[in-house]
Amino acid sequence: MSPEWQAVWLTLKLAGITTLLLMIIGTPIAWWLARTRHWLRQPVFAVVALPLVLPPTVLGFYLLMMLGPDGFIGQLTERLGIGTLPFTFEGLVLASIIYSLPFTVQPLQNAFASLNERMLEAAATLRASPWDSFFTIAVPLARPGFLTAAVLTFAHTIGEFGVVLMIGGNIPGETRVLSVAIYDHVEALEYSQAHWLAGGMLLFAFLVLVGLHTINGRLAGGVVK
């Protein structure tokens, strides 16, 4: 595989795995944030939103510290025999999960918050347990939110640069994702290769947004008034 395609494949793999894991992690967080009145709600909301406002290098720096051999997560992973995570693909996945968390949680939280409480109450009076009504009522009704969350998370992870550079470096086939590859080409003054990759990403981003808008419009038309 050429280095370019290797970078494309690695990027897609990273974004795919991150999106999948974030849907699993983000859904309960979003559900809790949308429905709780606990005093921890605001602090948790702020923590989840932090990656939106922090410079990616700051986030990457702290992750590097935590995951490194002197950080508490690094010591934990070493004791578990996994070794340290910086400069590995797994480390990138972990960093991406934190970096893209708000892009999963916020659309889901909005979707859950706009659910009509009456629907869940009706389901309960029809003998559906909370889990049952979550999967048969809440999830289908929040489907546009899930789609938005998944697409934004995927696209945002693909565009990640600062965090990758801090924590992943530039190891071909392991951590050298598209954005880093473009940076490399520009550094080496290989503008034509940079053009191909950058143009491809631009087109990809555009298509994703158009597709998302179209599908969500259709879902909204079919599901809710």
Which stretch in 29-37, 99-107, 119-127, 175-183 sits in contact with other proteins by CB under 8 A?
119-127
Q: Which is nearer to other proteins, 50 or 224 (CB)?
A: 224
114 binds other proteins, rule: CB under 8 A: no
SS3 annotation, the chain: CCHHHHHHHHHHHHHHHHHHHHHHHHHHHHHHHHHCCCCCHHHHHHHHHHHHHCCHHHHHHHHHHHHCCCCHHHHHHHHCCCCCCCCCHHHHHHHHHHHHHHHHHHHHHHHHHCCCHHHHHHHHHCCCCHHHHHHHHHHHHCHHHHHHHHHHHHHHHHCCCHHHHHHCCCCCCCCCCHHHHHHHHHHCCCHHHHHHHHHHHHHHHHHHHHHHHHHHHHHHHHHCC
Size of the site for other proteins (CB under 8 A): 21
Question: Closest distance between other proteins and the C-beta of residue 214, in Å?
Answer: 20
Ranges within 120-179 binding other proteins (CB under 8 A):
121-130, 132-133, 136-137, 140-141
Under rule CB under 8 A, residue 197 binds other proteins:
no
Contact residues for other proteins, defined by CB under 8 A: 118-119, 121-130, 132-133, 136-137, 140-141, 223-225
